[in-house]
Amino acid sequence: MRLSLILSLLIPSIAFAVPLRGPSYIGMCNPRFPCKEALEILDVQEVKTVGYLADSFGHQCQCVKEFLALEGPKYIRVHLANGTCFPERGRRCGKYDVFYRETKRSAQRKLERRNPGLLKRYRASILRTKALLGEEKEGLTIRYALCLECSISDRARKVLLREALRHFPRDSIVDSPLNHRCLSGLICEKHGDSMRYAKGQRCISDTDGITLFDADLKRLNRNSKQCEAIFYWTYGFNLLPYEYTGNFIYPYKRTEEAQEWELLGAKECIER
């Protein structure tokens, strides 16, 4: 059973001396996301911690609102744009995405040229996120990732950064490149279980791309000791069947709910 493997792989946590841990609820804004069950597993945390993706799964984000209404301190990381949807990755950017109808190449070119239309879409995502999350305050820490697994150039991501800095403090901004080095001075987010960070580099780790059941959690924890947060992902958090390999489904059209055992696996990862 997958869940039993989790128990044997976890490294014991030391209170206040380890990163925060949370589920990577990428699809949290989809109306079919199992919000009640997903938020219930957070009861084991001193600081309730989640990550999600803006726009791709819809704009209503009722579950995010319910998360914000929970009692106690909270930490939330939001990706402001979906960098995984490009046709070069065998997918398509949907009508809610910042990069709607773009390819990686066209999006990169437009950003490097500061295309007003594309920047307007990115700005709209920022403003929706600000309206949803409000301002960071005591008991609420917010991290704003420029773009999920961004494969576009440093120059293009710096244009996104310039726009984000008009709305958010620099020390709250995260760079999540797919293959590039993180932009200097930002929190660096890497995915999988084999990430490496420079000594003293601020960081966030996320298993996204490798399920929490398949990741080497000892290696993940070892490599993420200096990070402020670690997130744990599985297919159901993207509203896909476990190990799904079928045709691409637009995120806002997905209806598969995370299975109970996926949520229980995440709970084991985040318990202290």
Tokens coding 228:
């402020």
Query: E strand or H helix at 163, and its extent?
Result: helix 154-164
**pLDDT tens profile 95-118:** 999 999 999 999 999 999 999 999
Average pLDDT over residues 77-90: 96
**pLDDT tens profile 119-158:** 999 999 999 999 999 999 999 999 999 999 999 999 999 9
Banded model confidence at residue 18, pLDDT cuts 50, 70, 90: confident
Q: Which of 131, 179, 182, 126 is nearest to 158 (CA)?
A: 182
Banded model confidence at residue 7, pLDDT cuts 50, 70, 90: very low
Exposed/middle/buried for 81, CB within 10 Å: 0-12, 13-18, 19+?
buried
| Dihedral sign (CA 39, 263, 207, 151) | negative
**pLDDT tens profile 161-184:** 999 999 999 999 999 999 899 999
The predicted pLDDT at position 226 comes to 96
Is residue 265 scored above 90 in pLDDT?
Answer: yes
Q: Which of 221, 223, 222 is nearest to 212 (CA)?
A: 221
